[in-house]
A and B are shown apart, each in its own frame.
Chain A
């Protein structure tokens, strides 16, 4: 049990997938201008990571490893994520139109988000069992949503502040990310 907890905390806080492992950074610079869309994006990514790591685990352990075709895992994972995103889009469109509209085009962009494929590759690299990969998926999703929410909150404040001309736009977001990473660095060395 404590091992599962440390996998969760590891990916959500100590080795936060965005700030420490640099996975899935594109939406931080693109989407995180307002708190609402940022959190929605975080939840959508969490859902996709969760479902596709379950499928990827099954594909890896029941198809690729018995056939000794592990070298194909990258292509298989890409196909799983791509089709998952398509199916999710269809289901949301039919069942919950309001939620679908609030996601907008972000949903399709998740297909090429490094956070999703990164978690799948990490799971395979650490050879986690099924429960461990599920916990890792939830941990990574939580870490992603947390950072998206924090960044968008800070960016809403930054809009109102007086920033030097050269620092406006991307540079100040990088500096903000550096300070957030410094704060998350405080979790380093925590053990359970």
Chain B
């Protein structure tokens, strides 16, 4: 059991996929302009990485070493297609807001990286813990980035259609660049620098 919780904690804190490993930047930067999109993406990411880690870990003795990367890619792409169909059917607004970035999970370095580096070498329960930890770490990072971007870029925080609160003074004239791509790079750079400054991240 201690192995399970260690794997789980590792993904959230010690090797947070977004801030420490700095992997899979495309979805992190592209979908963090609103909190809704960030949560939708985190959900999709969690479903894909848990399902693919589980299946790859179960099949780790069957998959021949020579062709493992193509096999991983096909497994991941299959789960991404399934998640896409689920999103299209049940939460169409989030599906259309995420656009092609949902499909791009299929070539996400993080999902493939965990499959190659962890799930293909470890027991099913450890792989599941690893996937859960990574998903929560990913989700927290996306929430953090999108919180700042939505707050400054829109002047208010809206969650699933309910406006939670408005920042006084910014509500009517927000700083638009934070919802554009510039804001994504800027917030990400400043957050990384902050984590490095307080010593959470040693070397990036």
Residues of chain A touching chain B, judged by Cβ–Cβ distance below 8 Å, are: 19-26, 29, 71-72, 74-75, 78, 82, 112-114, 117-118, 121-122, 125, 165-167, 169-175, 177-178, 181-182, 185
Which among A23, A113, A174 is the interface contact of B189 at CB below 8 angstroms?
A174
Q: Are the CB atoms of A74 and B193 closer together than 8 Å?
A: no
B107 neighbours in A (Cβ, 8 Å)? 78, 112-114, 117
The winner among B22, B181, B186, B194 for most chain A CB atoms within 10 A is B181
Contacts A78-B107, A114-B104, A125-B100 given; does A181 touch B185 at CB 8 Å: yes
- Considering only CB atoms, which chain A residue lies closest to B82 in the complex? A71
Give me 24 A-to-B residue pairs in the complex whose CB atoms sit less than 8 angstroms apart, sorted by A's number.
A19-B181, A21-B181, A23-B104, A25-B25, A29-B22, A78-B74, A82-B70, A112-B73, A117-B104, A117-B106, A122-B100, A125-B100, A165-B197, A166-B194, A167-B189, A167-B193, A169-B204, A171-B190, A171-B192, A174-B192, A175-B185, A178-B185, A182-B177, A185-B180
Chain B contact residues (Cβ within 8 angstroms of A): what range? 35 or more
Q: Is the interface of B mostly helix, strand, loop or mixed?
A: helix
Q: Does B167 contact A (CB under 8 A)?
A: no
Q: Which of B151-199 contact A (CB under 8 A)?
A: 177, 180-186, 188-190, 192-194, 196-197
| A22–B192 alpha-carbon span in the complex (Å) | 18
A24 neighbours in B (Cβ, 8 Å)? 26
Residues of chain B touching chain A, judged by Cβ–Cβ distance below 8 Å, are: 22, 25-26, 29-30, 70, 73-74, 77-78, 80-81, 84-85, 99-100, 103-104, 106-107, 109, 112, 177, 180-186, 188-190, 192-194, 196-197, 203-204
The winner among A26, A169, A178 for most chain B CB atoms within 10 A is A178
Q: Are the CB atoms of B189 and A171 closer together than 8 Å?
A: yes
Contacts A166-B197, A169-B203, A177-B185 given; does A29 touch B25 at CB 8 Å: yes
Contacts A125-B100, A178-B189 given; does A72 touch B182 at CB 8 Å: no
- Considering only CB atoms, which chain A residue lies closest to B193 in the complex? A171
Contacts A71-B85, A82-B73, A171-B196 given; does A114 touch B26 at CB 8 Å: yes
